Structure 1
Amino acid sequence: MIQSPSGQRVDRSDLGALYQNVMTLQNQGKTTVIGTESIANQAVIHLIVDGEFGSSVSGVSQFQLWLDVTTGFPLKVISYK
């Protein structure tokens, strides 16, 4: 896992929590790749992660994510209950 000189780790940040929640929901449902799009002139991959009927993680049953093609960093995230 990535760790800064001050000791902060990605897995213990808001970003780390987001990735953990997305992966947990993926394990309880399905992931659909919508395709490549552009946000602010950056190429992104648009994904939808749906939990199975009745499943959620921290109250979220669906994530839409737009991940930078090069880094995988989320440029946009929408969560649905």
Structure 2
Amino acid sequence: MADPLADAVIRFQELSTYKATVRSMAADGERQVIRYFFRKPGWVRMEFAEPHRGVVLIYDPEARRIRLWPFGLNHALVLPLAPDNPLMRSPRGHRVDRSDVGALLDTLVALRARGNVVALGAADVSGHPAVGIEIVGAASISVAGVHRFQVWLAHDSLFPLRVKSFDAENKLMETVDLTDVAIGIRFSENFFTP
């Protein structure tokens, strides 16, 4: 595998749907667990398990709007919000409309263009064979506030399984694990428009 990042970008361009359980742990101990669903051209559905159990949000890329069910889909209350609404950003600035694996890969490619890549070698990530790479910005270069990424891509699909981000002082900012990954799944007709 000459360039796993370039190959991962090609594989992402070829897929139409995926789902995963996203577990993130910030350096300050903040933890999130989200069931994440994606369909091109940018539909996103997030079902929160931690810390806001039961919250569901869906991003519609055509309308560029988020619909938020703060008490779950079985409740009538639905809040329409813009993707840049401060309530919809994570403490680290993540936005729903830029939360998919394609956006991550774009960030990795942008940092690589202003830095370099080092192979971390083969690893086992949550029981899956993976290949690791480290992308480091030159000097004090950062992209989206990140100076260095360590990424482990599934050996078979090159789908990201674990991502660690570090700031310019080399402090760990966040670790994100993607488990229960399924690519190319079929969603029901109204899955993103309940």
What's the TM-score bracket when you normalise by the shorter of the two chains? 0.7 to 0.9
| Alignment partner of 1:28 is 2:60 | no
- Secondary structure (helix, strand or coil) at the match of 1:24 reads helix
Question: Residue type matched to 1:44 in 2?
Answer: A
Question: Residue type matched to 2:148 in 1?
Answer: Q
| TM-score normalised by structure 1 residue count | 0.85
Task: For 1:45 and 1:3, locate their aligned partners in 2 and report how far apart those are by CA, in whole Å.
Answer: 23
| TM-score normalised by structure 2 residue count | 0.38
Large movers: runs of 4+ above 2 Å: 1-4, 7-10
Query: Residues 1-80 of structure 1: matches in 2 within 5 Å?
Result: 1=13, 2-3=15-16, 8-9=40-41, 14-80=100-166
Q: Which moved more, 1:59-68 or 1:33-42?
A: 33-42
Aligned-pair identity (%): 29
The structure that has the greater radius of gyration is 2
Task: For 2:134 and 2:127, locate their aligned partners in 1 and report how far apart those are by CA, in whole Å.
Answer: 21
Task: For 1:3 and 1:39, locate their aligned partners in 2 and report how far apart those are by CA, in whole Å.
Answer: 24
Q: Deviations over 1:21-54 (max 9, x none)?
A: 0000001111000100111221100111000011
Count of residues in Structure 1 that have an aligned counterpart in Structure 2: 79
- Secondary structure (helix, strand or coil) at the match of 1:32 reads strand
RMSD (Å), alpha carbons: 2.0
- Secondary structure (helix, strand or coil) at the match of 2:158 reads coil
Task: For 2:41 and 2:108, locate their aligned partners in 1 and report how far apart those are by CA, in whole Å.
Answer: 18
Task: For 1:14 and 1:67, locate their aligned partners in 2 and report how far apart those are by CA, in whole Å.
Answer: 15
- Secondary structure (helix, strand or coil) at the match of 2:157 reads coil
Seen in structure 2, the aligned counterparts of structure 1 residues 43 and 27 have a Cα distance that, compared at 3 Å, is same
Higher helix fraction (1 or 2): 1
